A and B are shown apart, each in its own frame.
Chain A
Amino acid sequence: MLETLDALKGEGLQSLAGLERAEDLPDWHRAYLGRKGRLTEALRGLGALSAEQRPAAGKRANEIKQELEAAFGRRQDELREAALEASLAGGGIDVTLPGRPVGPGHLHVSTRSLRRIREIFGEMGFQVYEAPEVETDENNFGLLNIPPYHPARDMWDTFWIDEGVVLRTHTSPGQIRCMREYFPHPIRVILPGKCYRYEQITPRSEHQFFQVEGLAVGHDIRMTDLIGTMREFARKMHGGGRELRIRGSYFPFTEPSIEIDMDCLLCAGKGCRVCKYTGWLEVAGAGMVHPVVLRNGGYDPAEWSGFAFGMGVERPVMLHHGIEDIRYFYGNDLRFLRQF
């Protein structure tokens, strides 16, 4: 009996070693170790043995079963490994073919810039306040200290909707709305949004554009705070070493009024075509909120002070990316928009 078992083992191992394809393995397993396999059959033969022979033969049969199972397992691993190797060797693809597109779409370049501006001012505690695009003459002009026919109105070419209703020419009317809503709390907001001016569409001018207004009102808001805030912004937005130039200016809703220039991004202040050889680029118009405007917003100028600024969004984007024609922004050519 033991000889038969040993022979079976030898035969099994030999046959196993001869198998070259993984798919033949199950047949072998069934043939030797299956329910109707040869080892099972051999084990059935144990019943015919004497009681003395049976334990040794049984033990032997179990050992052989384990050995065959182990050998099967090893062979299985070997063949899998070999098959994997073969497939790796032969299954190369053309890695230069384009991948399946999964890419995200593109945010509009103005949106990207607005997000960055909001983020920078957000870090300084400025929250976003939004106001309507169609405004009353009163909010857009009158309450901002620009009465009808005032010469300051020449600064804004206006689209009229109706008697007393305009498309806002700047984000400043939001100042009035914001103050009237926030009083008597201090204010620190930016007001980003679309503005409209009656201007022909050319490479340098658009009738629709974005502006970001800033407004801080408190008991201790100073001109130097305004300058510091704008410098912080310029450096975070345009790079660490940026320098500002502050000059006197005129806006009807600020007193004193200033204009803020930054050293030219392109020539670093040396003078070039873009900065008209001045070395400076206009960044924002700003100033201390005019006492009349503060009062119109509900804040007593004897107790409160504030600063305000307003800046364009498209112009710095144009400088950053070398865009020479503002019409690209709202012309929506995907060949342009997908570059950013």
Chain B
Amino acid sequence: MALRVPLKWLQDYVEHGLPADELAERLTLAGLEVESITAIGAGWAPDKVVVGRIARLDPHPDADRLCLATVEYGAAAPLTVVTGAPNILGYLSAGLPEQPLIAPFAMVGAELIDGHAGDGRKLKLKAGKIRGVVSEGMVCSEMELGLSENHEGIMLLPADAPVGAPLVDYLGDQVLEFDIKGGFAHLLSVFGVARETAAITGKPFNRAPLEAGEPGEAPISASPSFVQLEIADPDLCARYTAVLVEGIKVCPSPFWLQQRLLRAGQRPINAVVDVTNYVMLELGQPLHAFDYQTLRPDPGGEKPVIRVRRAKAGERMRTLDGAERTLDAEMLLITDGGGPVAIAGVMGGADSEIGDDTADVMLEAANFEFLSTRRTSQVLKLRTEAGDRFGKRMDPELCLRASLRAARLIAEICGGTVRAEYGDLYPRPFQPRTVELELPFLHRLLGVEISQEEVVAILRALEFEVREGEPLRVSPPSYRLDVTMAADLVEEVARIYGYARMSPTLVRDELPPQVRNRRLDGSERMRDLMTGCGLDEIITYSIISRQEDARLNPAPDADPPDGKFLAVQNPLADDRAHLRRRLLAGLLNTARENLRFQERVALFELGVVFHPVAGQVLPDEPLRLCALLAGRREPGSWHGGQDAAMLDFYDIKGVAETLHAGLEIENLSWQRGSDPAYHPGRSAIIVIGETEVGRLGELHPRVVAAFGLPPNPVCALEIDVEALLQLWREDRTMEPISIHPPILEDLAFIVDESLPAEQVRALIAQTGKPLLVEVALFDLFRGPALGPDKKSLAYALTYQAPDRTLTDKEVAKVRGKIVRRLESELGAVLRGEI
């Protein structure tokens, strides 16, 4: 949560004596991260922008809407400026007020924000004539000074502002903006930051604002004369306090208070609201101000009742922002005799809001259960500063002090008196607790020996009570509800002691058993094989459009080919709301985008996909590899020929073969595939044993078109990584290399067109064992001479024996066996030696 702390305000509570950047660094190192430092008045040149007094007003000789102001600013002779500020013009006829008119005054040469441009543009003030009269400077609006967006009139300063002083001295400041993480309510206030600053710097801490809220002698009870307090659900409300300020007159806040609020990021409204905001920023306790006269008693009762209870399911109320809210039974309400007046800790109701004619104010300072408050705020989608603060563990001891501090300030500013009895219902009072800290534990966890003396000093500086001994017995203050165990104390000590003082070490603890991660090693091997084939790796989004995936099945009205998708309940965009089941669509989209700039794409992705499984909370996340080739084999190559042709089935098959060879996987077979995403005649599944480990081929032309790709072959390979890695062999035994010369011969067979070549090769290889050591297809020929539906397959055969030189006779015998077997089993005809 962001917090803005003006340094002049901070200095009221701790005189740290550090420049802003050094203070920011010290706080950041201790865990209060300063995101930025904003200098207010950085652009106000001390000799050009000063506090001025409007000593005289004269009419402009030539314009009704302008006047001439004579400004004294400490120099011997005043200067005259032309102004049309509406909040000044009125004094022209009425005469100057009793209180001196003090305003920021900029001389020629000063740099200001251009109030008319409205976009923060800067301008340098030049001497110039306005309607014929020379203006020797300018009296400035808040916007021109960069203080706010207000450009309605000039900014008026308090009567006691030192005329002639540089404005930067009087009004300049520096604001630290923090990002306070987690649930640390105690850091979300100027007072809290001051307390940390004091602990870090060792400077004294001024507790005046807390002392200003001392209850003193006045009676405190759950039933003071002005209100009856009841907490029906103490599990959600540990404390409720009420203080009454009577006979006030709602007015604007004084200058100093408005300035502090503005710097802390709050817009001033009226003194009552401003004071509640001010005390919230100062001490951290959110306050709520009710117009006391609107609070109702129970029917027949006399004094108003405040009842803190859970809402009834479906109960409704109108909140301050004008919205009608429907509540559920887990939401905590503040009600009076007539019904809901506030959603506890989140927002007040419209009916009891402070108005201009409010005369009596009842201040609420309570302590609500933080998780419940956050839930209410989230369910209602209603974020408020109070809700954000109550959504963290607040200090229950702070309530009454904060409301008294505020009540006294309101009485001071708006007149009126604080009723000398206070309402306080505290069903679950703060229980001080003791956390034991053994120094050896601290030393073991940090690796640093910090002396007991220093540990105790740090904890005490943070207002922890410490009883020395072994172990240390430590009581955290009431605002440190986050500290519950020894490790929490170690953190407090470590961050104040300073991590910079700890010397780095290397782990000396026992090394755990080291094991191989075969899935990862195999995946990386596959990535290397793919890049080795010239493919570029891509990583696409896991959250996809299901409609796009559906395009992989070109059949009209087809169901998604692979069953159900996992849906994201709160997607960034409605058309990207599902988790991918398959990588292919992502590659196709990537191919389309890249083919706008490239003649060829060769891509792969390796990642998990998501398959919901009935009866299982979490989906299966199988690891998949998908490769895609499209375009020319070698675009832009001047070598021509094969290089320039379109990539086709045999290119992707080459990639698949390289993958299998690289993993030393054997005995795989290629069978016709039936995946509707693929071309029915130009696709295959890869089968090893009984297992399908992948599929490949040219994609169906309708799929290619559906993804907006040009009408050329697009080839894909999809691999089930884990299934394939099951077969990854790394245990191969070396085969001896024969020193005896091989005999080479070529054989060609005429077979039916429909006969898969692999069958021919396999039969040759099987029959030729063991002397036939290699069979390679080197020619495929079709022609009228062979007859229709026939093809000729020509193989280069290598015969070799490990232990002797083969004779022609031995080879002839094997050859004869091969030929006979092919003739009888496959109907092949030997085409003759080539």
List residues of A whose CB falls within 8 A of some B CB.
97-98, 100-108, 110-111, 115, 124-125, 127-128, 130, 132-136, 147-152, 154-155, 159-162, 164-165, 167, 182, 185-188, 194, 196, 198, 200-201, 207-208, 216, 218-225, 227-229, 231-232, 245-252, 255-259, 276, 288, 290-291, 301, 305, 329-330, 332-335, 337-338
Contacts and interface: CB of A to CB of B under 8 A. Distances in A.
9 contacts: A108-B538, A194-B542, A224-B446, A225-B505, A227-B502, A227-B504, A232-B506, A245-B29, A332-B593
A161 B509 CA distance: 40
B447 interface: yes
Contacts of B491: 248, 255-257
B30 A247 contact: yes
B426 to A, nearest CB: 24
A162 B500 CA distance: 44
Interface stretch (B168-176, B344-352, B462-470, B524-532): B524-532
A250 B184 contact: yes
Contacts of B607: 194
A97 B637 CA distance: 10
A159 B453 CA distance: 48
Contacts of B504: 224, 227-228, 231
Interface string B593-632: 1100110011110011010000001110100000000000
Contacts of B618: 132, 134-136, 165
B474 to A, nearest CB: 15
Interface string B382-402: 000000000110000000000
Given A155-B181, A167-B568, A207-B572, 18 more contacts: A100-B639, A102-B534, A105-B602, A107-B537, A127-B514, A151-B182, A160-B568, A164-B617, A182-B512, A198-B572, A222-B447, A224-B446, A225-B509, A228-B506, A231-B504, A247-B28, A247-B30, A250-B181
A68 B618 CA distance: 89
Given A105-B533, A221-B507, A247 B541 contact: no
Nearest to B500: A246
A55 B515 CA distance: 85
Which of B36, B507, B520, B579 has the most A CB atoms < 10 Å from its CB?
B507
Contacts of B530: 105
Interface string B482-500: 0001011011001100011
A159 B182 contact: no
Contact of A136 (B374, B505, B617): B617
A141 to B, nearest CB: 13
Contacts of B590: 332
Contacts of B150: none
A334 B599 CA distance: 12
Contact of B507 (A98, A124, A288): A124
A97 B532 CA distance: 24
Given A152-B182, A224-B504, A108 B446 contact: no
Nearest to B535: A105
Interface residues of B, number: 95
B267 interface: no
A256 B358 CA distance: 49
Contacts of A290: 487
A224 B594 contact: no
A208 B527 contact: no
Given A107-B527, A245-B500, A128 B520 contact: yes
B536 A334 contact: yes
A196 B571 CA distance: 11
A205 to B, nearest CB: 11
A329 B538 CA distance: 9
B457 interface: no
B569 interface: yes
B511 interface: yes
A149 B378 contact: yes
Contacts of A111: 527, 537, 539
Contact of A329 (B519, B524, B539): B539
Contact of B445 (A106, A208, A249, A288): A288
Given A167-B568, A216-B509, A334-B601, A223 B593 contact: no
Nearest to B185: A151
B732 interface: no
A188 B566 contact: no
A258 B638 CA distance: 59
B621 A255 contact: no
A89 B594 CA distance: 45
B275 to A, nearest CB: 27
B398 to A, nearest CB: 18
B540 interface: yes
B813 interface: no
A222 B183 CA distance: 26
B550 to A, nearest CB: 20
A62 B535 CA distance: 67
A196 B542 contact: yes
B587 to A, nearest CB: 9
B823 to A, nearest CB: 42
Given A125-B514, A208-B543, A224-B446, A334 B597 contact: yes
B511 A98 contact: no
A219 B509 contact: yes
Contacts of B29: 245-248
Given A105-B535, A164-B617, A249-B33, A159 B570 contact: yes
Contacts of B446: 222-224, 256
A185 B510 CA distance: 10
A108 B375 CA distance: 42
B481 to A, nearest CB: 12
Contacts of A337: 536-538
B381 interface: no
B634 interface: yes
B183 A151 contact: yes
Given A185-B512, A330-B539, A223 B637 contact: no
A252 to B, nearest CB: 7
A160 B543 CA distance: 12
B30 A248 contact: yes
Given A136-B618, A258-B499, A104 B31 contact: no
Contact of A152 (B183, B378, B597): B183
Contact of B570 (A125, A160, A330): A160
B517 interface: yes
Nearest to A98: B638
A108 B33 CA distance: 34
8 nearest CB pairs, A to B: A248-B31, A222-B447, A248-B495, A224-B447, A256-B491, A228-B504, A218-B509, A246-B499
